[in-house]
Amino acid sequence: MTDDTTHRTTEPAGRRVALVSGGSRGIGRSVVLRLARDGFDVSFCYRSNAAMAESLQKELAGLPVRTLAAQVDVADGEAVRAWVARTEKELGPVDVVVTSAGITRDKPLMLMSDDDWHSVLDTNLDGSYHVNRAVVVPMMKRKSGSVINLSSVSGVYGNPSQANYSASKAGIIGFTKALAKEVGRFGIRANVVAPGLIDTDMTDALSDKAREELLRAVPLRRFGRAEEVADLVSYLASDAAAYITGSVFEIHGGITI
């Protein structure tokens, strides 16, 4: 898989199409797998790790759905629009969109550079805007759709040394609530999932001591699993959540209580 190509499997079409940003790793990867198992054809993007995307495509190959993978920087609105257009051409209209692409540049504010600030806001907040903007307008024309934007408990409660990340994730919450009010009359739902400490490649980098300190703050005494977040996304994408919109779902093992 090269920087400017996509790959698509040839299995029979599923009933609906889901689009997932940041789908090659962590929570996004689990979301892609779960939605594919739910019967969605899935288009996902990744920023730089082609090997992880290729690995995911191989895992998806055993499922009776079509998939499309594209290397896209979600901070680039034109690239996002091209990805969405290709998804609609190859897979069909998007029924569910999940924004999972995100980065961190953690530092105390006094040590944070302008680039640390802007790179996080550009990817996390602007990236969510670009994906939502490209997908929601066609949804409005069809009068149906489900939007699920990934935030974080850092966006709900704030976190030291994460002023940039917390701001971007809080922005996603405000953006989604405003969107829910705008598009509800078109039959579109928009919700937020705000995870806490989840076992991903980011948390794998923590020392044993750091993990122990963090776990003491979690009443359930464990990190969450990416699959558990994907289960919640799956529910919000389903018809079982047909009367839920404008809501923020925290999944954090009780760390904030």
Q: Could you give the residue numbers annotated as active site?
A: 165
21 is in an annotated binding site: no
243 is in an annotated binding site: no
d(CA 172, CA 47): 20
Q: Cα dist. 69→5, 45, 195, 230, 253 in Å?
A: 8, 6, 25, 19, 32
75 is in an annotated binding site: no
36 is in an annotated binding site: no
Question: For residue 96, how far is the Cα from the chain centroid?
Answer: 11
Sign of the four-CA dihedral 135, 152, 243, 40? positive
Instruction: For residue 128, report the phi and psi dihedrals to the nearest 5 degrees.
Output: -65, -40
Token reading at 55:
């690995």
d(CA 212, CA 135): 41
169 is in an annotated binding site: yes
165 is in an annotated binding site: yes
55 is in an annotated binding site: no
198 is in an annotated binding site: yes
166 is in an annotated binding site: yes
> From start to end of 24-161, where are the E strands?
40-46, 67-71, 96-99, 145-150
d(CA 14, CA 65): 5
DSSP 49: -
22 is in an annotated binding site: yes
Q: Cα dist. 73→102, 113, 150, 253 in Å?
A: 10, 21, 17, 31
Binding-site annotation, residues for NADP(+): 22-25, 165-169, 198
Binding-site annotation, residues: 22-25, 165-169, 198
